[in-house]
Structure 1
Amino acid sequence: MVTPIAVVGPTASGKSALGIELARRLDGEVVNVDSMQLYRGMDIGTAKLTVEEREGIPHHQLDVLDVTETASVARYQQEAVADVEAIMARGRTPILVGGSMLYVQSLVDDWQFPPTDPSVRARWETRLTEIGVSALHAELAALDPEAAAIIENNDPRRTVRALEVIELTGQPFQASQPPKDAPPRWGTVILGLRTTPEWLNPRIELRTNLMFERGFVEEVEELVKNHNLIPESTAGRAIGYAQVLDAMAGTLTKEEAVERTITGTRRYVRRQRAWFNRDHRIHWLDASADTASQAREILGY
């Protein structure tokens, strides 16, 4: 039976390149596990591989949403699981690549999502309107610090959802998730790219500067003009996109947008590190060394 391989880790650590290498070596197809790469037209700002960079390797769960749509972990899980099982049925190796924490867990674990209740959700949405997302996120942090640590403090939808789950279940949001020591779905081998701030921070800075040099602002302008991207949307709150939208609105200069994209990415990386470091099923590779060789030793190909 074919065994899927997952490649996880922080932003800018080299996951995409290793994913392509593994797909070439193992007759694989890539399944994206980056929530912002689900969106059509969000290419430069998400470091999405170009068609040429994909080297003819099929990629799944890329460009499946318009920027006006709301990305959903539950919807993603259903569709990505179907993709993985179809790849396996073809006798090929699924290579799961990305660092969106809840999306990774939804795919490699058999996560049964908690119930919803429209009246409970409406009450928290009213609270959101009354006090704003930052204050509501602070309330979540007081109730469930672990949930608050992985949810952006400017993400109203996930903040409301976590509070809804806590109220409905009487348990922390984290308790609704499967334990990280359970066997991964399909026996997936999870490879993680371990980084240090000293190595990764300069890469984040370089990548961000290159994004802006290669037309990132123009990409956002196109999404606003022709695809109705707005700051209040899930896509519009993505790191980088939110800062460019602020610059377009005149509340930031371009230089400030670049700097805040860098600092926002670094904050996100800290959350990714904390999240993935708790998963003892991960086989860690040194991202600063030859990751392909390290993966080969673990996988034995």
Structure 2
Amino acid sequence: MEQSKLTTITPTICSTTPPSFRRRKRKIIIILGPTGAGKSRLSIDIATRLLFTNCEIINSDKMQVYKGLDITTNKITLQQQLNIPHHLLGVIDPTKTIFTPSDFRKLASEIISDVKSRRGLPIIVGGSNSLIHSLVTKRYDPKTNFFVESDPNMDPDRDTDPNPLRYDCCFIWVDVCLPVLNQYLSKRVDEMLDSGMFEELGEFFRSGEHKRVKSSGLGQAIGVPEFETYFEKFPGFRRPESDGSDSGEVYSEAVKKIKENTCQLAKKQVSKILRLRDAGWDLKKIDATEAFRAVVTADCGGGRVAEIWEKQVVEPSMKIVMHFLDE
């Protein structure tokens, strides 16, 4: 969701009276959903409204954990973070290692413990469901990266849940009707290109960085493989004109593939979320479709978008969070 179109609504600040979650251990909030669904925006909305505790955000997007390609991987900017601490965002050297779900489980667990030791509230945000699963499930199997079947010899009085979680989790699933989300994702790719994505990728290829990063890591970021052919043939930094030239045709094909692959990624992510729901995770679904429909409607102003987002996404999310924290 476009950040600039969601900042015109004055937020309703929650009570400063701390709920009972301060007496409980290891409560965390997890915001999941397909790429582009507004997860980062919602995490900031929630964090800035919970005045009774310090929220800290842990990134769970497997491309955004790496240093570099900030525009291409659509990292939330420092300005958009609104002074909310962010962890595992642009910190992993993409030339030295591949960041695995097991790595995320270890590092994110340590961060959660640190945040909880300071009586803060961790908010895990990202579209990489494999990372989220690795973090929260108690019997994690890195070989399958999905729920491990329960042990038939397990003491039933000790643990009756076949897929127990390590934390007391509040799962918020930001959902957008795929046809509407696809329209928005196509629009977002164009905006990312206008914001410097092409130039960022040009420097990435010109410097030879694409040869040094791990192909199974940052090298998989959407935009890198799609533009590889273009920058091999046309190493310049200037975006080509749509004039039927060779460079223009290759550029247009690269952009088309980026849009297609982004939409395919969103579809796969939704499929994985449905698997988690079917496996028994209590996912609280928030339908953000109307807010995104407003974004892709040319005659709808930013104020109207922000109003819809506030009413249909932020307010119900806050009710879910407050109920969870007060349990």
What TM-score, normalized to structure 2?
A: 0.69
| Deviation of the 1:79 alpha carbon | 0.6
Match 1:110 to one of 115, 135, 138:
138
Tell me the distance in 1 between the aligned counterparts of 2:70 and 2:149.
Answer: 32
Larger Rg: 2
Tell me the distance in 2 between the aligned counterparts of 1:40 and 1:192.
Answer: 27
1:253 aligns with 2:250: yes
Match of 1:34 in 2: 61
Match of 1:43 in 2: 70
State percent identity of aligned pairs: 28
1:7 and 1:15 in contact (8 A); partners too: yes
Change (3 A) 1:184 1:294: farther
Letter in 1 for 2:72: G
Match 2:276 to one of 271, 275, 279:
279
Change (3 A) 1:227 1:73: farther
4+ long deviations beyond 4 Å = 174-181
1:295 aligns with 2:296: no
Match 1:61 to one of 71, 88, 94:
88
User: How big is the alpha-carbon RMSD for the aligned residues of Structure 1 and Structure 2?
Assistant: 2.3
Tell me the distance in 1 between the aligned counterparts of 2:72 and 2:65.
Answer: 12
Q: Secondary structure at the match of 2:210?
A: coil
Q: Deviations over 1:126-175 (max 9, x none)?
A: xxxxxxxxxxxxxxxxxxxxxxxxxxxxxxxxxxxxxxx5xxxxxxx366
Map 1:49-88; keep pairs closer than 5 Å. 49-68=76-95, 69-88=97-116
Map 1:1-301; keep pairs closer than 5 Å. 1=24, 3-26=27-50, 27-68=54-95, 69-114=97-142, 165=143, 173=144, 177=148, 182-226=163-207, 228-230=209-211, 233=215, 234-250=217-233, 253-280=250-277, 281-288=282-289, 290-300=312-322
1:110 and 1:178 in contact (8 A); partners too: no
Number of residue pairs the alignment of both structures matches: 244
Once the two structures are overlaid, the 10-residue window that deviates more, 86-95 or 281-290, is 281-290
Gaps of 5+ in 1: 115-164, 166-172
Change (3 A) 1:110 1:20: same
What TM-score, normalized to structure 1?
A: 0.74
Letter in 1 for 2:109: V
Letter in 2 for 1:238: A
1:181 and 1:279 in contact (8 A); partners too: no
Higher helix content, 1 or 2: 1
Letter in 1 for 2:218: A
Gaps of 5+ in 2: 1-23, 151-160, 235-248, 292-311
